[in-house]
Amino acid sequence: MNDIRTLAIIKPDAFGGGKTGKIIDHLESAGFGVLAARVVHLSRAGAETFYDVHRGKPFFTSLVDFMTSGPVLAMVLEREGAVTRLREVIGATDPAEADPGTVRALYAESKERNAIHASDSPDNARVEVAFFFAGVDLA
């Protein structure tokens, strides 16, 4: 996939905390369009599959607990350089290390409860878009 689409998830802390509108405003101001969006309450199996790369790490069970603690908003976002630009816009995993003005610096609570997910490569973006939007015509 060319780097024009990426997958973002507004995580349970931010979705349940009423920060969805502010975060989408931030993303639109950064030049992203919302191509598709879906509210999902992930199952344990679903969260484990989505974060399979982290299976076995010390924070894995806690991460799955968190990601299944409430609904999330999964979105396909579109702009040139989508993957790279969204990673810049959301900031570092730990909000204490995120650049000022990034989504995580503004809205994350902690390294785990960090408001938003973004795909980390175009290949993973394709896999992650398919995870949430299988069978959806995004053309």
Q: How many CB atoms lie within 10 A of CB 98?
A: 20
Query: How many residues are present in the chain?
Result: 139
Nearer CB in complex with ligand ATP: 23/118: 118
Q: Is 59 in the site for ligand ATP (CB under 6 A)?
A: yes
Q: Determine, following the binding rule CB under 6 A, whether residue 114 of this chain makes contact with ligand ATP.
A: yes
Q: Which is nearer to ligand ATP, 78 or 112 (CB)?
A: 112
The single-letter code of the amino acid at 9 is I
How many angstroms separate the CA atoms of 60 and 57, rounded? 5
Query: Least Å distance between CB 131 and ligand ATP?
Result: 13
Task: Please say whether the beta carbons of 91 and 103 come within 8 A.
Answer: yes
Footprint of ligand ATP on this chain (CB under 6 A)? Answer: 54, 59, 63, 93, 111-112, 114, 117-118, 120
Which residues are part of the catalytic machinery?
Answer: 117
